[in-house]
Amino acid sequence: MEPVTQIDGRAYPFGVKNVDTDMIIAAEWLKTISRVGLGKGAFAALRADPANVFDDPAYAGSPILIAGDNFGCGSSREHAAWALADMGVKAVIAPSFSDIFSGNAFKNGILTVVLPQEQVYRLMEVARTDTIHIDLAEQMVTTPFQDRMPFDIDPFRKQCLMGGLDEVGLTMARGEAISGYEMRRMQAEPWLVPVAA
Amino acid sequence: MALFNYRNVGARGTGMTEARTLYDKIWDAHVVEQRDDGTALIYIDRHLVHEVTSPQAFEGLRLAGRPVRRPELTLAVPDHNVPTTARVDADGKRIPIADPESAQQLAALERNAPEFGIRYIDATAPEQGIVHVVGPEQGFTLPGLTLVCGDSHTAAHGALGALAFGIGTSEVEHVLATQTLLLKKSKSMEVRVEGDLGFGVSAKDVILAIIGRIGTAGGTGHVIEYRGTTFDAMSVEGRLTVSNMSIEAGARAGVFAPDEATFAYIKGRPMAPQGADWDKAVAYWKTLRTDDGARFDRTVHLDATQIAPNVTWGTSPEDVVPITGSVPDPDSFEDASKRAAARTALDYMGLSSGQRMQDVGVQHIFIGSCTNSRIEDLRAAAAILRGRHIAGGIKQALVVPGSGLVKRQAEAEGLDRIFVEAGFEWREPGCSACLGMNPDKVPAGESCASTSNRNFMGRQGPGARTHLVSPAMAAAAAVTGRLTDVRELATRD
Ligand code: SF4
């Protein structure tokens, strides 16, 4: 994955509360075989409204999404994170997230930033006209107007995002330990390899 | 710089001597490394793959140029999208799948499995079926192993004494690449059921009773161990029905200690250990029991003699009442959100409070799913249907065996003729109307007595109304056209 250190650019001033994974990407997309291309289906129901922020040219390709409370609730489908990643979203800022969505977002290189509701309102206001800056190393969201908003993040997630490390890559780096374990187990329990059909 | 400090732990545990639960023992034996943030790298012995949750995992491997670490520990079989109508024509040629997206998911699995060296059971193979039926049936699932699949009903495999749970697509990719998962240990919960089951009461009624008691969040954060004389006397197939629905009780996994019934079930299955390995394996499996004095974080007791044939009235698996009961009054629930949910559920289900469950009409019958599609399930349903016919109001009655092997066994026993003569359709194996990803669906506003595991809104098709029941109860409903107490139709022998 691409290392994430600074995210800088326009932000969708979305702000809707309790957006569930069905609203992010509808169930019909569960039949796809790819994790790319889902951006086309993202927020489909909301996009029926011609005034929606996602189709406003001012925000086209924004790397940041500003959302409302409890973003990503509902099912565990990872398709929601894939859809945002495919739209080019690299960070979502909201007062709170569903745990599963946060985990899925992180696994797909998307930073989720939790900020108090007033600060999220403030960012919505800025986003309409100006850019927003996120510094992951400093754990700080800033605006061109001297706003400084510190945020917390799990140190493991931070290191993974900053190093562009994916969990698979990190575990693969433990390959020797896994091989050692496998050898011990195979000796004690030779039936671990299923009989070939 | 290492991100974390690791501590190596040998296979077969940490050398601790305190009394341990079955879950502790399996967990300890699978810790590759313990991290100091409380997570552990856990070795995964078996991995089942189906067509819905795997394409993006394989794509991830391909993009990163990563191979599958131990392809022989993964088994792939399509089940969710496959049509249950004939799959080959009179000349033995494959009939293409009509839905282009279903066809594409199947084609992707068919391509990915050989590309990554994974054993693949084709949709037209005699062993094909629902992953959770195929695993135990092939001897792929064994006691003491860790087993995962990108599907929440993976919990089923716990019936054989495996620690089995569902995972997401990123985790599928993680397992394929590393044969491990990074996990935090769950809490433990004992569900103890004692006593003999009454006439007409089955494993499905037991698990519905448990979910009705503890609720769909009751097991959250826990691994359940099912214990007690009721389970000791239960067949392995019945235990599979129980552990299958652990997820509806909120638990990611449910386990049974393996016993003589388990060993007899596994012996001779195609992928099971043989010869000297078999003896060694059984000797080890016999150690997989919760030690006397081991502590559970939570314990729930049920009296089996009090369990009646059960049905669900609402849109959550915890909405359980005995068939002799009535639709509850939403105001009778203490919790405000439950009252609101019950009102919405009754509206969706087209029921009113106080209505007797036995007066609820059904137009559809579905006997199938990984909960209840094994040979014992089909025998139980056929025993009710023998010499009877479905009621006039039934629009469709489906029997979808869990696997091709179950189907052939049933045909050898003549069960297919009983179903067909009773007015049922005898189908090819797969998930079918359990979730309606294939053409088998229940139309909006119509009711189905279903042996599956989820009665969520829209689960069996948009607007479909699902009543969860046992196979014998589904057969009884077919005969009368309404939810029916099977004890009125069954004969005691
Ligand atoms: S039968 Fe139903 S519950 Fe079981 S794996 Fe298939 S869709 Fe899931």
Residues of chain B found within 8 Å of residue A168, distances taken between Cβ atoms = 60, 64, 66, 173-174, 177-178
Half-sphere exposure of A31 (CA within 13 A, CB side): 16
Q: B81 is written with which tokens?
A: 């999208």
Contact B46 A78 (CB under 8 A): no
Going by alpha carbons, the residue nearest to atom 4 of ligand 1 is: B370
Note the pLDDT of residue B17. 67
pLDDT in tens, chain B (493 residues): 344 455 554 444 444 568 999 999 999 999 999 998 889 999 999 999 999 999 999 999 999 999 999 999 999 999 999 999 999 999 989 999 999 999 999 999 999 999 999 999 999 999 999 999 999 999 999 999 999 999 989 999 999 999 999 998 999 999 999 999 999 999 999 999 999 999 999 999 999 999 999 999 899 899 999 999 999 999 999 999 999 999 999 998 999 999 999 999 999 999 999 999 999 999 999 999 999 999 999 999 999 999 999 999 999 999 999 999 999 999 999 988 889 999 999 999 999 999 999 999 999 999 999 999 999 999 999 999 999 999 999 999 999 999 999 999 999 999 999 999 999 999 999 999 998 888 999 999 999 999 999 999 889 998 999 999 999 999 999 999 999 999 999 877 6
Rounded to an integer, what distance in angstroms lies between the CA atom of residue B475 and that of residue B172? 37
Rounded to an integer, what distance in angstroms lies between the CA atom of residue B256 and that of residue B274? 23
Rounded to an integer, what distance in angstroms lies between the CA atom of residue B409 and that of residue B129? 14
Query: Is B453's C-beta closer than 6 angstroms to any atom of ligand 1?
Result: yes
Going by alpha carbons, the residue nearest to atom 2 of ligand 1 is: B434
Rounded to an integer, what distance in angstroms lies between the CA atom of residue A66 and that of residue B491? 64
Contact A171 B178 (CB under 8 A): yes
Note the pLDDT of residue A119. 98
Rounded to an integer, what distance in angstroms lies between the CA atom of residue B185 and that of residue B178? 19
Cα nearest neighbour of B74 on chain A: A194
Note the pLDDT of residue B11. 43
Strand partners, B224: B189, B254
Question: B203-214 and B236-244 are packed helices; what angle lies between their axes, rounded to 10 degrees?
Answer: 30
Rounded to an integer, what distance in angstroms lies between the CA atom of residue A143 and that of residue A127? 9
Strands (E), A69-157: 91-94, 111-114, 132-135, 140-142, 148-150
Domains within chain B, CATH numbers bracketed: 46-182 (3.30.499.10), 186-306 (3.40.1060.10), 314-488 (3.30.499.10)
State the smallest CA–CA distance between residue A128 and chain B in angstroms. 35
Residues of chain B found within 8 Å of residue A31, distances taken between Cβ atoms = 52, 81, 101-102, 104-105, 437
The distance from CA B48 to its chain's CA centroid, rounded to whole angstroms, is: 13
Residue by residue, what is the 3-state secondary structure of chain B?
CCCCCEEECCCCCCCCCCCCCHHHHHHHHCEEEEECCCEEEEECCEEEECCCCCHHHHHHHHHHCCCCCCHHHEEECCCCCCCCCCCECCCCCECCCCCHHHHHHHHHHHHHHHHCCCEECCCCCCCCECHHHHHHHHCCCCCCCEEEECCHHHHHHHHHCCEEEECCHHHHHHHHHHCEEEEECCEEEEEEEECCCCCCCCHHHHHHHHHHHHCCCCCCCEEEEEECHHHHCCCHHHHHHHHHCCHHHCCCEEECCCCHHHHHHHCCCCCCCCHHHHHHHHHHHCCCCCCCCCCCCEEEEEEHHHCCCEEECCCCCCCEEECCCECCCHHHCCCHHHHHHHHHHHHHHCCCCCCEHHHCECCEEEECCCCCCCHHHHHHHHHHHCCCCCCCCCCEEEECCCEHHHHHHHHHCCHHHHHHHHCCEECCCCCHHHCCCCCCCCCCCCEEEECCCCCCCCCCCCCCEEEECCHHHHHHHHHHCECCCHHHCCCCC
Give the three-state DSSP class for A7.
strand
Say if CB B400 and CB B426 are below 8 A apart: no
Domain map (residue ranges) of chain A: 6-164
Token pair 């409890």: residue: A70
Note the pLDDT of residue B342. 95
State the smallest CA–CA distance between residue B51 and chain A in angstroms. 9
* A137 in contact with chain B, both atoms CB, cutoff 8 A: no
Residues of chain A found within 8 Å of residue B119, distances taken between Cβ atoms = 197
Cα nearest neighbour of A37 on chain B: B56
Q: B456 is written with which tokens?
A: 């969520």
Say if CB B138 and CB B76 are below 8 A apart: no
pLDDT in tens, A20-30: 888 899 888 88
Note the pLDDT of residue B493. 61
Strand partners, A75: none
Contact A191 B273 (CB under 8 A): yes
> What percentage of chain B has pLDDT greater than the value 90?
90
Nearest ligand 1 atom to the CA of B152 is 8
Q: B470 is written with which tokens?
A: 């046992």
| pTM summary value | 0.91
Q: What does each C-alpha distance from B222 to B140, B292, B299 come to in angstroms?
A: 25, 20, 11
Rounded to an integer, what distance in angstroms lies between the CA atom of residue B382 and that of residue B418? 6
Strand partners, B321: B311
Mutate to test the interface with B, among A22, A168, A185 (most CBs of B within 10 A): A168
Rounded to an integer, what distance in angstroms lies between the CA atom of residue B327 and that of residue B306? 19
pLDDT in tens, A89-107: 999 999 999 888 998 999 9
Rounded to an integer, what distance in angstroms lies between the CA atom of residue A40 and that of residue A54? 11
Amino acid, res. B63: L
pLDDT in tens, A134-193: 999 999 999 999 999 999 999 889 999 999 988 999 999 999 999 999 999 999 999 999
Contact B271 A194 (CB under 8 A): yes
Amino acid, res. B108: A
Q: How far is the CA of A173 from the centre of ligand 1 (A)?
A: 35
∠ CA B380-B365-B310, rounded to 5°:
60
Say if CB B476 and CB B470 are below 8 A apart: no
Rounded to an integer, what distance in angstroms lies between the CA atom of residue B489 and that of residue B387? 12
pLDDT band at A31 (very low <50, low <70, confident <90, very high): confident
Rounded to an integer, what distance in angstroms lies between the CA atom of residue B101 and that of residue B78? 14
Q: How many CB atoms lie within 10 A of CB A2?
A: 8
Quick one: fold of A6-164? Answer: Aconitase; domain 4 (3.20.19)
